[in-house]
Amino acid sequence: MTLILNNREITKILSMDECIDALTDAYLDFVSGVAVTRRRSDTLVPSGESIYGLKTMDGIAPSLGVGAVRINSDIVTWPKVGDSYRRVKVPAAPGSRYTGLILVFSTETGEPLAIMPDGVVQRMRVGATSALGTRYLARTNSRTAAIIGSGWQAGSQLLGLLTVRPEVEVVRVFSPNPENVGRFCSDWSQQFNQNFCAVDSLVEAVQGADIVLCATSSIDSLFEVGHFEAGMHVGSIKPPEISRQALQLADSVCVHVGHGKPLLTQADDLIVPDHSGGRGWEISDEFDFAACPTLPELISGAVKGRVSAQERTCFVNDLGLGLQFAVVAGITMRLALSAGVGQDLPTEIFTQLEHP
């Protein structure tokens, strides 16, 4: 049988600490050449006034016995907000839904073991990845943190933070939308029985913080060199959030994988307002991310993490990996099977007698 899961079920069974542990093992396997991953590709054509994008990435986690393909089939628009364009995915599928899938296959039999949406898994792996950056780069005696952003990704950053640095006592949250920040703080405070305070400015959030985690949809830098205090760790879910000057001031900048651009194939007549190849932001050539150590190297000990209390450190999530999906969807499947969660579809639907 092929296990079919939905996001509600995945939310119930998937925990941040399990994500972090499983990714840690997978990054070690990646460094030793056991686990493999195919770089993300974006294939784009115009679709009316919008863009149709088919985004795929593959990875194999042999220790879990699974390979996975993550597929996003997106309708993307580019509304102008203020002076800049914003990248907005349109839930154009029936029922105002998005199309993002993970297919999990067995490395022993090849069969499709599970099919699940990517919404929860993708946030959990981003949160877990940033948390690993925090684990190796933030001071162990961190007590105060700032979260910049108040959306889904921000929640996952908070969850990851409190998993690797449970000693953190104060979390200040800022985003330009006060209503969102209020709701974010009240939702998460309730969940953790801990007080997360909404603040009115970015400066107020970051001043004196040991850890700053940016999780915004901004395509411009927001964490500037003037914010960067000695001993601070700054995390970012995408390269533009931390300014070039702030990156240059850092004693150590670690990236996720070190080849921050997807393989792009696009129709000749495609027009992307911000010229960023469909992602909404570009990796600036002004800072050499390719020369930075990567998270797998950090975890394996091939490069050092934080070495002094005064260091300024950064972790930048430059590009996702198919391997992350193999790992997080792989453990999600295992958890679902042992909890008896999900539906079954006959595997015959997705296999064949004919030699392909």
Structure token digits, residue 223: 């964490």
Question: Helix 152-164 vs helix 119-137: angle between axes, to the nearest 10 degrees?
Answer: 40
**Shorter beta-carbon distance to its own copies: residue 109 or 201:** 109
Query: Which one among 32, 190, 191, 248 touches its own copies, defined by CB under 8 A?
Result: 32
Three-state secondary-structure class, residue 226: helix
CB 221, min distance to its own copies, A:
23
**Shorter beta-carbon distance to its own copies: residue 264 or 307:** 264
Count residues contacting its own copies (CB under 8 A)? 78
**Shorter beta-carbon distance to its own copies: residue 89 or 244:** 89
CB 198, min distance to its own copies, A:
22
Q: Which range touches its own copies (CB under 8 A), out of 47-55, 203-211, 239-247, 332-340? A: 47-55
Q: Which range touches its own copies (CB under 8 A), out of 89-97, 126-134, 206-214, 239-247? A: 89-97
CB 103, min distance to its own copies, A:
7
- Determine phi and psi for 337, rounding to 5 degrees: -65, -40
Q: For residue 309, which amino acid is it?
A: A
Query: Which one among 15, 21, 28, 111 touches its own copies, defined by CB under 8 A?
Result: 111
Q: For residue 254, which amino acid is it?
A: C
Query: Which one among 52, 144, 180, 284 touches its own copies, defined by CB under 8 A?
Result: 52
Structure token digits, residue 278: 């469909």
Q: Tokens 């050539």 correspond to what residue?
A: 285
Give the C-alpha separation, 130 to 222, whole Å: 18
CB 108, min distance to its own copies, A:
6
Find, among 227, 249, 23, 259, the residue nearest to 131 by Cα: 23
**Shorter beta-carbon distance to its own copies: residue 253 or 329:** 329
CB 85, min distance to its own copies, A:
18
Q: Is 95 in the site for its own copies (CB under 8 A)?
A: yes
Q: Is 81 in the site for its own copies (CB under 8 A)?
A: no
Query: Which one among 9, 18, 58, 210 touches its own copies, defined by CB under 8 A?
Result: 58
**Shorter beta-carbon distance to its own copies: residue 240 or 322:** 322
Contact 351, 111 (CB under 8 A): yes
Give the C-alpha separation, 147 to 162, whole Å: 12
Residues 310-339 that bind its own copies (CB under 8 A): 322
Residues 258-297 that bind its own copies (CB under 8 A): 263, 265-269
Q: Is 67 in the site for its own copies (CB under 8 A)?
A: yes
Q: Is 33 in the site for its own copies (CB under 8 A)?
A: yes
Q: Is 100 in the site for its own copies (CB under 8 A)?
A: yes
CB 306, min distance to its own copies, A:
30
**Shorter beta-carbon distance to its own copies: residue 211 or 215:** 215
Structure token digits, residue 260: 């921050």
**Shorter beta-carbon distance to its own copies: residue 95 or 340:** 95
Find, among 343, 334, 342, 332, the residue nearest to 15 by Cα: 332
Beta-sheet pairing, 100-106 with 112-117: antiparallel
Q: In whole angstroms, what separates CA 216 from the centre of its chain?
A: 12
**Sequence-distant (≥ 6) Cβ neighbours of residue 292 within 8 angstroms:** 253, 254, 255, 258, 316
**Sequence-distant (≥ 6) Cβ neighbours of residue 46 within 8 angstroms:** 52, 267, 269, 270, 271
Start-to-end CA span in the chain (Å): 21
Q: In whole angstroms, what separates CA 23 from the centre of its chain?
A: 12
Q: Which range touches its own copies (CB under 8 A), out of 17-25, 126-134, 247-255, 346-354? A: 346-354
CB 168, min distance to its own copies, A:
27
Spell out the alpha helix ranges (H) of 193-239.
202-206
Q: Tokens 């780069």 correspond to what residue?
A: 137
Q: Is 176 in the site for its own copies (CB under 8 A)?
A: no
